[in-house]
Structures are given as structure tokens and as C-alpha cells.
Amino acid sequence: MKLTIKILLIPWLSIGAATLYGETLTVSLLDLRSESGLYDAVVEIIPIRQMTPEVMPIEVSVDQVDKEFISDVTVVPVGSRINFPNSDEILHHVYSFSQTKSFDIPLYGAGDNLDHFETFDRPGVVVIGCNIHDWMLAYIYVAESALVSKSDELGKARLENLEPGHYQLKIWHARMGDDPPLIKEVDVAAGLDTNLTIALDLAPERRIRRAPSSTSGRYR
Amino acid sequence: MSGLTIKPGFRSFRSRLIVFLLILLLPLLGGTYLFVNSNNRSYTEKTINSYLESGAGVFDFTLAQQSQTLVSILSSLTWDFGFRSAFGTGDQPTLFGAGQNVLERSLGSVETLLVADMEGRVIIDTALQGFDRLSGAWQRLLEDADRDQEGLAEAIISIRGIPHRLIAVPLYLPRQVAWIIGGYPLDQEVLDRVKQNTLSEVSLVRVDSLGNHIVASTLPPGYWSALAEEFSPSASGHGLQKFNLGGEIFGSLSRILNPDSSTDEQLVALIHRSYQENLANEKLFQDLLARFYLLILAVSILAVLFLARSVTRPVQKLAGFVSRIDKGEYDATLTLNSQDELGVLADSVNSMARGLAEKEKVRDLLGKVVSRQIAERLIKNPVQLEGEEKVTTIMYVDIKGFTGFCEGRSPRQVLNVLNGFLSSVAGQVESHCGVVDKFMGDGVMALYGAPVAHERDVENALHSALMIERQWRNMAEGELAEFGLQPCIGIHTGLVVAGNLGSSNRMNYSVVGDTVNLAARLESLTRYYGVTCIVSEETASKGRGLLFRELDLVRVYGRRDPVRIYQLIGETGRVEASMLQEIQHFQTFLECYRNRQWDEAEHLLSGLSAGGSTPALYSLYAERIAAFRRAPPPADWQGIFVFDKK
């Protein structure tokens, strides 16, 4: 799987009200294949010279509803804890063999393991699945910085209240597969909104198709 | 006359029928045989083709089935938590163990398993080929799989020289993290399995730049090298190929197993079917057909023989019957128990035989009443009351002294003598092509030249006269001679009217005219002249080879012109010298007589009378001269003696 990245546009300046640590970086990601915004891409910036904001771990739930993880990509700061509630009437078996975080929560039903949190204390990408339902696939992006955002359906990821300065920009998307995140450097100017547009040519992700009749039926 | 003519050819109706039957039947049977044979052959071809198609179908199905099983097993690995866990550990020996476990659990469906990461690095390889990174055909297999939406691809790749069917599937964890490549060898075992299901032989041929190599085959190993030699890769996939392997003909269909292979190596599966079994069946069928045809022929020939017999037997019977009729057995009757045409023919032949019998009776009767020649003529020609003029020689024969002979004798005796004479005369007449015109008391009138003319009628008449005279001499010894019985014969040749004389109901074939009368007169004159046979000048002049003596020149009763008459002496050269001399002297005498030289004439006559053969003749002339001396003839006398009565 090859990753082709093209930077189409350089940042342009826009005049705005300058506030203390109030700069905004908007990264517009373009999917060259579909020629539309790249959804669910993670954009993380890491300050190079300026002070790194303190990372505040959080607790998040990645629920399983109708034999799907409720979120395809969940972004958490490093050290965060995540539990995987089961909202279906059948059992799920959540696992991960990712090097970032490997865990295995054997079969459990609705209401179980609500207090079972997995701590994601290493930055990186964790792929989670259900051992019963092969098509169930979700990603946990463990960010090393607090400055992280996901692109919306238009492919725009917005980072606000930034201190002007020089940053390392990491862009990751599930379709990158095992490839490392795209790393760039970006300057956030004071008093100006920084806009960045990056076009990515990513191969389509091959996924196990959901069984056709698995959306209905009580015991599917 | 119309006649039945049969062209020469077959000697028997039976042969003709048999030949006709053969001409009719053989092309028909031959044609049918060829047609059936050709269809049979075409059917054999079709059957072989069909077997091969179905064999190829089963082969394809077997491979597809195995591939499907392979895909199922490999795909299930990606859901196998144990395998996933083993992969998840990243521990190669653990994953290798899991891989071997898969091989064992697949019961032979998967014989080799290779797991490679997304970069093509080999993680485990149960075949232990010893490479770290996939390349070549293996790499192309993964590229194909990567291009496929489902991540599936298959290829045939040789592992340790044995072609393997390999299938690549993704390993999801749950995202694709690796490739699983599993496969099974295309070896003898697979081919044996296909053979079990199709009863067709299967061979696997690897074609590379060095030639053809038989990888595996269900054919006997003895055929392998022949197959490798005969197989032409260029003909692969183009329908039926035929191979002669060790004398056995095989029809073969080919399947290129790696049509998309980018290597020079090609793997071709051949499905064979021997013609031997079908040819044996064909031969059996041919034999049966031939026997059946022989039976038909035999039955037909028997039927023809029967038919021929049913025809020829009556025909032979008919022929025999007709042959009997031909021999004159008219009284027989043919009986055929048949209502068909032959029955009708038999009736006709019977009716014909009856008709012939009646005709023969008439002929017989006619032959007795009239002469055979006349009877024939009467039978052959329509009887008409009209005559024809013809030159005919008439002979009258009578017996001198018969009236005296009859006196004092019984009628039986008389008839015996008479019938003996008449039979002798009639026999001589007929043997000399003459015809007895009628019997008149003790006399016979015979015709020569009528109704049928012959070349030598006159001679025939004269010869028959000589023979009658001779025969009479032989017969008339003893008693007959004593009574002076002697035949008298008169012969004259001239124009007569010949034809059927009488009424329309009853008639005779006969001749009439002056010639007839003269002949009768001449016969009467024999008594006067004392000779046996007198012929006219017309007759004597045509009697070649015979000797005559002129007797006189006479004018007979009822006739104006004088006639020179002659005595028939015999055949020239068989007459004695004394007789010849006598004739010579008599001729001289006649000249003197006619010249009224009475003295010389008498002198000559007295010489002749002494020991002459005809004393009556000489004494007659002596009396005539004496009379002339008394009353000489008129001055215009020409030597003619006139008879003024019959």
C-alpha cells in the first residue's frame, strides 16, 4: 500500500484579531481518489520550540451498538483510559493486537465491564476489533500532544488557541495502513489564521464486509 | 413367322433372380452398412468428445472445488482467534506451529501455508523454501490479490518442482495485517481423484523452453514419453487432439492451468479418453451388423430359391411337356396346380397340344390320302381354288397283265401283290422327291416339280422309273414273272396347271393339261412297243447321264403335233456294249425306215431281231414295213405313225 501525498497549497494569511495563544490552524485534507474532503483524518501538532501544553488524560467510552463500534476513530491523549461497553444483547469480544496497545476483553455482555478501562499510555494507533464480529473495526489514536483534532466531513481539521510558533504536523488516516503518519512542519503565525491544504492519495481501505443479514436479527 | 427369342445370358432363371437380388440388395446393404458405420464413427467421436467434455468439466469442478475449500480454510484463518493470537504474538515459531496445525486440520486440502506481511516479507513458510521475501511469481500473486477487491488471487507456482495451486487471502486483525498463501500440489493424487470421478485419464504437462515434461499422469508410465513427444502446446485449448500412445489412440482435451502466467512455463492439464473401448464396441457392432446382413442375404437367397423353384418347376414341367409335344406326343395333358400366369400358360399349352393333335390327325390323314409334300403344302398354305402353271414331269406307272393275274385269285392275294407294287412305286417316287398324285387301280400317277419344284425333277423321275423297273425285276421272280406282270411307265415333261381341284368342301391337289394326257398315252404305248418305259423327247432331252433309244415318231390320239418317243435304257456308262450296238443299229434302221428304204430297213431289222432285247418292237416294225410295201405311205409321209385311238 503506497501513500502519495501532495501539498497543493501553501498557507495564506488572513487578518484577524490577535489574542494571546489564540491562533488557529485549519488543515484542509483532500482525498485525491474521491476528490472530496478526507473524513476522520487525525491532525496532531507538536510544538517544537515553544512550551508543550500539558496533556490531560481523559476517560472515554467506545460503545458497541448494533455490532459496530460507535466511533470509527477515537482520538485520546496519551494516558487516557477507555472502556468498551456492550450495548448489544449479544456478547462481544474486544481485542487489539496493536503494538501500541494490545489487550483482550473476552466475551462479555451488556452492562458488563463498564468499569474495565484500558489505559492507552503509549502514543500511536491502536486497531481494535471484535473476535466474534470480524467486520467490527475501530481505531484509537493515542495522541502524544493535547493539540489534536479530527477532520470533519469536509476534510477540515481545526486547531485553536495555538501559540504562534513552529510545530511538527502529523497527519494520520486509517487508509494509510501500516505506514507511519505523514509528518510535516508548520509555522503558526501570530495574529493570523493559518490555513493548510494537503491532498492525499490514499489507497482504499480493504475491510471485511459485514455479513449481509447481520444488521437484523436478535442473535446476529 | 414370329418366334420367341431369348437372348443368351444366364442359364437359369434362378441365377438371374439371385443376381438380380444381389444387385438390388448388396448396394442397399453396403450403403446402409457404410451409413451406419459412418454414423457409428461419428457417434463414437461424439461420445468420446462428450466423455472428454464431462471429464474436463469434472476436472475443472474438482479444481474449483478444491480451490473453494482452500479459500474457505484460508479465509477462516483470519477469523481464527487462535491463529490471530498466534500472529498477534509476533512469535514466529508459535505462528509456524499454528500454520502446521492448519495443514493437519485441513485433511490434505491445504498442503502448504505461507504467511507474508504487507511488504511481502515471509513470516512463516511451512514448505521451508528458505526465502525471506516473496519475489517473482509469488510477488505477482500478492500484487494480483492486492488489486482484487476481496484480496483474493490464485496462481500455479512450482514448489520443489511440483506445480502447486496457490491462493492468497488477506489476514485481518481486524484490519489486514498480512497475506496468507495456502495451496495444494497438482500431483498424482489430484489426478487420481479426477480419474475416479470421470473414468478418464488425466495428465499434467509442464511446457517450458526445454520441452514438455509429464508432471503426473494417470496413464501407464510407459505412455508418458510418447505423450511428451506427441503433445503440441500450440494446439492446446483448440478442441480434441488425438495421441497415439503405444498403439492405443487417445482423444484428449487440454486445459491451460496458468493462462495468465507471465513466465515461459506453461502448465497444461490433458484429459484423455481411449478409443479402445469405443472401438471395441464399434467392432462388435460392425460384426453384429455384418452377421445380420449375412442372415438377411441368406434368408433372401433362400426366399429367391424358393420363389425361383416355384416358378422354374412349373416352367420345367411346361418345357418337358412342350418337348413331348415336339416329339409328337399330343395325347398328354399338363396339370399345374397353379392359378397364376403359369397356370394360364399351362392351360394355353394344353389347348395348343389339343390343337396340334387335331392338326396332326389331319396331317396324318392327309398324308395318307395325298402325298406328304402335298399335305404339307396344303397345311402351310391356305387352301385356294386356283392353280398355277408349272413345268412338271409326269410319270404314269401301271402293271401290264394285272387283269389276267387277278382272275382266279382271292382279293387278298391281289391286294397284297398290288399294294406291294404300289408301295414300291410310291416309295421310289417319294425317295426321288416326287409326289404320288393318285393311285388309279393298279396304276400310279406321280408328279415331279409340283407342288414343289426341285432342281433335278426330270432326272429324279427317270431315276425313279429305272429303280421301279429294277425293283420289280427283283420282286417279280417266280409266280409274278410267270404271269408276265411287268410295270409300264410313261414319262413326259411339260407345262401343267397345278392346284387344288374339286369343290370348296372337297378337293385334291393335282395337275391337269396336255402333258398329263401325253404321259398317260406314253404309258399305254409301252405295251405296243414292248418296252417298260417310254419318255417323250422333252423328257429325254433333259435326262442328263441317262441313255435313251428313240422308238418312234408318233401322233397320239387327240394330239396334233407328233411326238418323238424314246425308250429309257439306263444310266450312261452302265449300259452293256451289245445294248449300245443294238441302239446304234436301231437308229440306223429308223433312218432307213423313214427314208422308205424298206429293204435296208428290213435287213437291219432282221439283224436286230436276232438276239435283240425288244423282239416285240422289231416285229412291230417288220409288220409295219410289210404293210407299207403293200400300201406305200403317201408322198408327204414324214415317218410319223398315227394312233387314232387311245
User: Is residue B466 located within the same domain as residue B615?
Assistant: no
Assess whether B442 and B505 both reside in one domain: yes
In chain B, the percentage of residues whose pLDDT exceeds 90 is 25
What's the pLDDT at B277?
Answer: 77
CB contacts, 8 Å: B88 with chain A:
97, 102
Please compute the mean of the pLDDT values over residues A10-16 and round it to a whole number.
Answer: 37
User: Using an 8 Å Cβ cutoff, are B190 and B207 in contact?
Assistant: no
Look-up of cell digits 503440441: B232
B469 and B407 inside one domain = yes
Set of chain A residues whose Cβ sits within 8 Å of the Cβ of B84: 95, 97, 131
Final residue in a domain of this structure, among B551, B571, B591: B571
Nearest-Cα distance to chain B for A117, in Å, is 21
Substitution target in B76, B175, B177 with the highest count of A β-carbons within 10 Å is B175
* Nearest to B516, CA basis, from B446, B439, B432, B440: B446
Chain B residues whose beta carbon lies within 8 Å of the beta carbon of residue A137: 174-175
B427: enclosing H helix or E strand: helix B411-431
Superfamily of domain A59-143: Cupredoxins -  blue copper proteins (2.60.40.420)
Of B81, B149, B177, the CB nearest to A131: B81
Q: Does the residue B610 lie in any domain?
A: yes
Q: Which residue of chain A has the CA closest to B146?
A: A1
* Interface TM-score (ipTM) > 0.85: no
Q: Is the pLDDT reported for residue A157 higher than 50? A: yes
Beta bridge partners of B393: B448, B493
Contact A35, A125 (CB under 8 A): no
Residues on chain B bordering chain A, Cβ-to-Cβ distance under 8 angstroms: 78-79, 81, 84-85, 87-88, 118, 146, 149, 151, 170, 172-177
Q: Tell me, yes or no, whether B352 lies in a domain.
A: no
**Helices B457-475 and B411-431: angle between axes, nearest 10 degrees:** 150
Exposure on the CB side of residue A59, measured as CA atoms within 13 A: 6
d(C-alpha B178, C-alpha B168), whole Å:
10
CATH number at residue B507: 3.30.70.1230
Query: Same structural domain for residues B546 and B589?
Result: no
Q: Within this chain, do residues B442 and B516 fall inside the same structural domain, yes or no?
A: yes
| Comparison of pLDDT for B401 and A32, the residue scoring more | A32
Give the Cα separation of B520 and B395 in Å (integer).
Answer: 8
Reference B312, options B7, B16, B22; nearest CA is: B16
Q: Given a cut of 50, is residue A203 above it in pLDDT?
A: yes
Mean pLDDT of A181-210: 88
Task: Indicate if B545 and B503 belong to the same structural domain.
Answer: yes
Contact A102 B177 (CB under 8 A): no
Residue A127 forms contact with B (CB below 8 Å): yes
Of B417, B412, B425, B416, nearest to B401 by C-alpha is B417
- Give the model's pLDDT for residue A187: 92
Nearest to B576 by CA among B603, B550, B547: B547
Look at the block and give the residue holding cell 394355353. Answer: B348
Q: Which of A95, A101, A210 to mutate to test the interface with B (most CBs of B within 10 A)?
A: A95
For A3-53+146-202, give the CATH class: mainly beta
pLDDT above 70 for B9: no
Structural domain for B594, as ranges:
576-646
Question: Does residue B34 lie within any of the structural domains?
Answer: no
Residue of B85, B118, B174 with shortest CB distance to A178: B118
CA-nearest residue to B145 within chain A is: A206
pLDDT at A71 over 90: yes
In this structure, are B550 and B595 located in the same domain?
no
Put residue B244 in one of left, alpha, beta given phi > 0 → left and psi -120 to 50 → alpha: beta
Q: How many other C-beta atoms lie within 10 A of the C-beta of residue A126?
A: 23
Query: Across chain B, what does the average pLDDT equal?
Result: 85
Beta bridge partners of residue B553, listed in sequence order: B564, B640
Alpha carbon of residue A202 to chain centroid: 16
DSSP state of B210: T
Which has more confidence, B233 or A196?
A196
Q: Tell me which chain A residue has its CA closest to the CA of residue B117.
A: A178
pLDDT level of residue A19 (50, 70, 90 thresholds): very low
Give the integer Cα–Cα distance in Å for B527 and B323. 54
Please list every residue in chain B whose beta carbon sits closer than 8 Å to the beta carbon of residue A127. Answer: 173-175
Could you give the angle at the alpha carbon of B62 between the alpha carbons of B59 and B68, nearest 5°? 140
Verify that B560 and B597 share a domain, yes or no. Answer: no
Over the Cα atoms of chain A, what is R_g? 19
Q: Are the Cβ atoms of A134 and B78 closer than 8 angstroms? A: yes
Cell 417323250 maps to which residue? B536
Answer yes or no: do A127 and B84 touch at CB < 8 A.
no
Note the pLDDT of residue A9: 38
pLDDT score of B378: 63
Domains A3-53+146-202 and A59-143 share a fold: yes
Mean of pLDDT values over B9-25: 80
Q: Are A23 and A192 in contact (CB under 8 A)?
A: yes
pLDDT exceeds cutoff 60 at B191: yes
The pLDDT-based confidence of B522 (bands split at 50, 70, 90) is very high
The domain boundary residue, chosen from B526, B542, B571? B571
User: Is 80 exceeded by the pLDDT of residue A13?
Assistant: no
Mean pLDDT within A74-79: 96
Residue in A with minimal Cα distance to B75: A208
Instruction: List A residues 102-121 in contact with B (Cβ-Cβ < 8 A).
Output: 102
Residue (of B137, B110, B183, B155) closest to B257 by Cα position: B155
* Full 3-state SS string of chain A: CCEEEEEEECCCCCECCCCCCCEEEEEEEEECCCCEECCCCEEEEEECCCCCCCCCCCEEECCEECCEECCCEEEEECCEEEECCECCCCCEEEEEECCCCEEEEEEECCCCCCCCEEEECCCEEEEEEECCCCCCEEEEEEECCCCEEECCCCCEEEEEEECCEEEEEEEECHHHCCCCCEEEEEEECCCECEEEEEEEEECCCCCCCCCCCCCCCCCC
B-facing residues of A in 1-60 (CB < 8 A) are 1
Co-location of B516 and B609 in the same domain: no
CA-based diameter of chain A, in Å? 58
Do B611 and B547 lie in one domain? The reply is no
Determine the pLDDT at residue B570.
92
In a domain, B497, yes or no: yes
Of the residues B517, B536, B571, the one at which a domain ends: B571
Q: What separation in angstroms does the CA of B206 have from each of B220, B228, B389, B613?
A: 18, 9, 119, 139
User: Which cell numbers hold the place of B194?
Assistant: 479426477
Does residue B145 contact residue A1 with C-beta atoms inside 8 Å?
no
Query: Is a pLDDT exceeding 60 seen at residue A10?
Result: no
Binning pLDDT at 50, 70 and 90, where does residue B4 land? Answer: low
- Domain residue ranges in chain A: 3-53+146-202, 59-143
C-alpha to C-alpha distance for B117 and B179, rounded to whole angstroms: 6
Q: What is the pLDDT of residues B584-606, one digit of tens each?
A: 999 999 999 999 999 999 888 88
Q: Which of A161-175, B48-62, B103-117, B556-570 is the least confident region?
A: B48-62
The CA-atom distances, in angstroms, between A116 and each of A84, A105, A108, A133, B85 are 8, 9, 11, 20, 21
Whether residue B256 lies inside any domain: the answer is no
Residues B497 and B465 in one domain: yes
For B266-277, what is the mean pLDDT?
Answer: 86
Q: How far is A129 from chain B (nearest CA, A)?
A: 5
For residue B500, the cross-strand partners are: B509
Size of interface A-B (CB pairs under 8 A): 46
Domain tally, chain B: 2
Question: Please, which residues have CB within 8 angstroms of residue B399's CB and are 6 or more apart in sequence?
Answer: B405, B418, B421, B442, B443, B485, B486, B487, B488
